[in-house]
Amino acid sequence: MAIHPIEYRYGTEEMKGVWNEETRLHKLLCVESALAKAESEVGLIPAEDARTIAENIHAVSLDRVNEIEDEIQHDVMALVLAIAEQCGDAGKWVHFGATSSDILDTATALQLRDAIDIMGERLHRLLDLFVRQADLHRETVCAGRTHGQIGIPTTYGMRFAIWACEIERQIERMDQLRPRVVVGKIGGAVGTQASFGEKGIAIQKKTMDALGIGSVDVANQIVQRDRHCEFVMWMANTATTLDKICTTIRNLQRSEIAEVAEGFGKKQVGSSTMPHKRNPIKSEQVCGLSRIVRGMVEPELLNNTLWDERDLTNSSCERIVFPEACILTDHLINLTIKIIDGLEFYPANIKRNLEHYRGLNMAESVMIVLAEHIGRQEAHSVIRDCAIAARDGGRDLLDVLLEREEVTAHLDSDEIVAAMDPYSYIGTAIEQVDAVVARLRTRT
């Protein structure tokens, strides 16, 4: 019976496949086979026996490994014994000179590589969607907001361009951390490679080359966890980017704003009791689950503070942190792709909110024009007084401005009306968006 929501509610089959028991066993077997091959190439074990191990190792079953572990209470030794059973006399060379973490940490690197590849592909898809939306809405002028209050105009193209650039930075961070994270080791009990003699460095390099991953420069019994910390923090950072984006979408879908909304299926139900509801449930899920991903940061940081050459406090923790953080982060990226791809816009509401403030949001524009005649500080004071009078009196700012001699003495009515046009006060927004779109299209 399924218990954890990851089993039945959250996550993609691709990412779950990276972390299931069968895949884990396969990666462990690949490491043991690569190790035997490397050892044979430097003359530490017979080449014929290494070939026998390679030919028979994948006959090992998960059931058999678990059966042995139940008896001896050691996961890697159970793996070694299960392999040896399949390899006859050559089985005596399985795991020769290695310590458990050599195999475990290197197999983890293979899984992390696959997980990064999956999330990277999805992030590029998301980046492409943001670029498309930025281009499509490059001239969609809307109310800007600071502190939750309406400010001067911006454009939806700007919003999407900003998000696109942030996703690009997350992709860059991912690419930068990959060579630091996707590394394995063959160092023996405390990292000195004493069990391999003078051939230890060559064995480690040949093993990792065969697996297609990097090697540590130096390690104790384990790959140092600052590498994994960086990866988990990257996932938390990426999840927080998605949280920010979806928080904005949730706010913009509020009934009193209603500028955009998540797509809503023909048979979708918004509420069990209120038939009219269209709730931003996907965005809410992104915001909620991002909290779980961020919560993985501290446990993984603490996994770096082990005793001496190592202890085992990281092991049980990482059995949860790595799969959960990867599955949930991948799920959040995939969910955000669906949200952005199906996002609906309501132009009438965008226009209504832009004009909702009765011109008060254009006070800066008038101030800038007036400042050319009387200076910035005095212009700010004059327009501030006009804005207060308009707000307190429930009037349009334009009407108040046209009555004020401090304004009309320097600006005629056409100049004031022009300064009050929100569609003309977006600065270089379109040019900025166009530059971002042109640059990022080469990455998508």
Q: How confident is the model at residue 273 (pLDDT cuts 50, 70, 90)?
A: low
- Taking the C-alpha atoms of residue 427 and residue 432, their distance in angstroms, rounded to an integer, is 9
Residue 62 lies in a domain: yes
Residue 4 lies in a domain: no
Determine the pLDDT at residue 128: 97
Residue 123 lies in a domain: yes
The rounded mean pLDDT for the chain is 95
| Residue 254 shares a structural domain with residue 345 | yes
141 beta partners? 155
**Catalytic-residue membership of 147:** yes
Determine the pLDDT at residue 271: 55
CATH of the domain at 387: 1.10.40.30
Q: How confident is the model at residue 369 (pLDDT cuts 50, 70, 90)?
A: very high
35-66 pLDDT per residue, tens: 999 999 999 999 999 999 999 999 999 999 99
| Residue 173 shares a structural domain with residue 315 | yes
| Residue 56 shares a structural domain with residue 175 | no
Q: How confident is the model at residue 420 (pLDDT cuts 50, 70, 90)?
A: very high
- The stretch 143-156 carries a mean pLDDT of 95
Q: How confident is the model at residue 277 (pLDDT cuts 50, 70, 90)?
A: low
Determine the pLDDT at residue 296: 96
Structural domain of residue 409, as residue ranges? 360-419
- Taking the C-alpha atoms of residue 394 and residue 81, their distance in angstroms, rounded to an integer, is 83
Residue 1 lies in a domain: no
| Residue 370 shares a structural domain with residue 390 | yes
CA angle 230, 234, 240 (to 5 degrees): 145
Task: Assess whether pLDDT exceeds 80 at residue 414.
Answer: yes
Of 58, 78, 96, which closes a domain? 96
Q: Which residues of 354-393 are buried (b: 16+ CB within 10 A; e: fewer)?
A: beebbbbbbbebbbebbbeeeeeeebbebbeebbebbeee
Cβ atoms within 10 Å, residue 428: 10
Q: How confident is the model at residue 320 (pLDDT cuts 50, 70, 90)?
A: very high
- Taking the C-alpha atoms of residue 57 and residue 311, their distance in angstroms, rounded to an integer, is 29
DSSP structure class, residue 187:
-
153 beta partners? 143
Residue 215 lies in a domain: yes
Residue 376 lies in a domain: yes
| Cβ contacts of 22 within 8 Å, gap of 6 or more | 62
- The stretch 112-121 carries a mean pLDDT of 98
Q: Which two tokens stand for residue 56?
A: 């028979």
- The stretch 318-331 carries a mean pLDDT of 97
Q: Which helix (H) or strand (E) holds 254?
A: none
Determine the pLDDT at residue 301: 94
| Cβ contacts of 222 within 8 Å, gap of 6 or more | 101, 105, 185, 306, 310, 314
Residue 7 lies in a domain: no
| Residue 173 shares a structural domain with residue 230 | yes
- The stretch 278-298 carries a mean pLDDT of 94
The residue that leads in pLDDT, 397 or 444, is 397
Task: Assess whether pLDDT exceeds 80 at residue 264.
Answer: no
Contact at 8 Å (CB) between 42 and 199? yes
Q: Could you tell me which of 156, 152, 159, 157 has the C-alpha nearest to residue 422?
A: 152
Classify 304 in phi/psi space as left (phi over 0), alpha (psi -120 to 50) or beta. Answer: alpha
Contact at 8 Å (CB) between 52 and 88? yes
Determine the pLDDT at residue 281: 85
Give the 3-state secondary structure of residue 278: coil
Q: How confident is the model at residue 391 (pLDDT cuts 50, 70, 90)?
A: very high
Task: Assess whether pLDDT exceeds 80 at residue 444.
Answer: no
Residue 220 lies in a domain: yes
CATH of the domain at 89: 1.10.275.10
| Residue 152 shares a structural domain with residue 136 | yes
Residues in the chain: 444
| Residue 141 shares a structural domain with residue 248 | yes
- The stretch 152-177 carries a mean pLDDT of 98
Determine the pLDDT at residue 274: 66
| Residue 166 shares a structural domain with residue 306 | yes
Of 45, 69, 96, which closes a domain? 96
| Residue 236 shares a structural domain with residue 225 | yes
Determine the pLDDT at residue 48: 97
Cβ atoms within 10 Å, residue 351: 16
**Catalytic-residue membership of 271:** yes
Look at the chain and report how many structural domains it folds into. Answer: 3
Task: Assess whether pLDDT exceeds 70 at residue 275.
Answer: no
In one-letter notation, the amino acid at residue 309 is E
Task: Assess whether pLDDT exceeds 80 at residue 268.
Answer: no
CATH of the domain at 113: 1.20.200.10
Q: Could you tell me which of 257, 232, 246 has the C-alpha nearest to residue 345?
A: 257
Determine the pLDDT at residue 280: 86
Of 69, 96, 123, which closes a domain? 96
Q: What global pTM score does this model have?
A: 0.94
| Residue 391 shares a structural domain with residue 408 | yes
| Residue 344 shares a structural domain with residue 243 | yes
Among candidate residues 61, 271, 413, 424, the one labeled active-site is 271
Helix residue spans in 213-312 (DSSP H): 226-252, 281-294, 297-302
| Residue 38 shares a structural domain with residue 111 | no
- The stretch 271-297 carries a mean pLDDT of 86
- The stretch 137-144 carries a mean pLDDT of 97
Q: How confident is the model at residue 272 (pLDDT cuts 50, 70, 90)?
A: low
- Write out the E strands in 156-202: 183-184
What's the count of helices (H) and strands (E) in the chain, helices before strands?
20, 6
Give the 3-state secondary structure of residue 273: coil
